[in-house]
Amino acid sequence: MTTVLVTGGNGQLARSIKANEIENVQFIYYDASELDIYQISQVQSVFKKNKIDYCINCAAYTAVDAAESNQELAFNVNTLGAKNLAIACLEYNVVLIHISTDFVFDGGNIKPYTELDIPNPLSFYGKTKLEGEQFIQSIFDNYFIIRTSWLYSEFGNNFMKTMLRLGKEKKSLSIVNDQIGTPTYAVDLAKVILKIIVTKNSKFGTYHYSNNGETSWFGFAEEIFNQCNNNIELKAIKSEDYPTAAIRPKYSVLNKTKIQQAIEIKIPFWKDSLKVALANSNTQ
């Protein structure tokens, strides 16, 4: 039986994996309180105790703005944590599936980013995620690095759930409309990861995955409320009207051609996946 270690076990991606587990695969989940991936001794202990075939690294410090002031913590988890997992995966012959971000790019492109485009993160969060990727790539070859964008689901804290909450509390909302990207339903990403495992895919490397299409945060919010039949007033604003600690890329749409060919998947349009997520959130 294939055994899969999932770090960051309480996060939305890990919970999306748990909700879609496959037969003949044993999943072992560790949340941050049980496994601090920054502590190499803890990582080694978990790998030694369990005969692991795959490690899905869902553990990350994802508070983009807070990372600007909590730099040590973000670096420890996103950079050194990734390094520690890669070292253990090399030692124990484990395939690492590591989740990264569109925030490794600076947003200067006018067409979707491919895996060959040169990263240039604008935020400290993006910098730590890129350095985590680079450590993995320098340590061994048996990895899938999957960069994704604007992750949301019925689980955890994310933009969709924030909008649903604010839609009940507010009469109007101001949302930025000059940052363009693609919302990604965590369950769709989870299914891609699970397909890699069940097919024993060995086309290792760095990949991009998001849902299809593109929109702004304003467009994302507008679609959430449209699908919920909520007539809240939405105001489109510029990023400069909503200052944040971290600078975000103005354009971070990802090109998915490589992963479509390597994993042989169909990628849903973001509005279709949002419909599924909203239906599932109503059953939570």
Which residues participate in catalysis according to the annotation?
A: 125
Neighbour-count burial of 211, counting CB atoms closer than 10 A to its CB (0-12 exposed, 13-18 middle, 19+ buried): buried
What's the N-to-C CA distance of the chain in angstroms?
A: 31
Q: How far is CA 20 from CA 17, 190, 261, in A?
A: 5, 8, 23
Query: How is residue 238 written in tokens?
Result: 């510029």
What is the C-alpha separation between 95 and 186, in angstroms, rounded? 21
CA angle 173, 179, 101 (to 5 degrees): 115
What is the C-alpha separation between 1 and 23, in angstroms, rounded? 9
Q: Which residues contact 245 (CB under 8 A, 6 or more apart)?
A: 65, 66, 68, 69
Q: How far is CA 266 from CA 67, 149, 209, in A?
A: 34, 17, 11
What is the C-alpha separation between 141 and 215, in angstroms, rounded? 34
Contact 221, 163 (CB under 8 A): yes
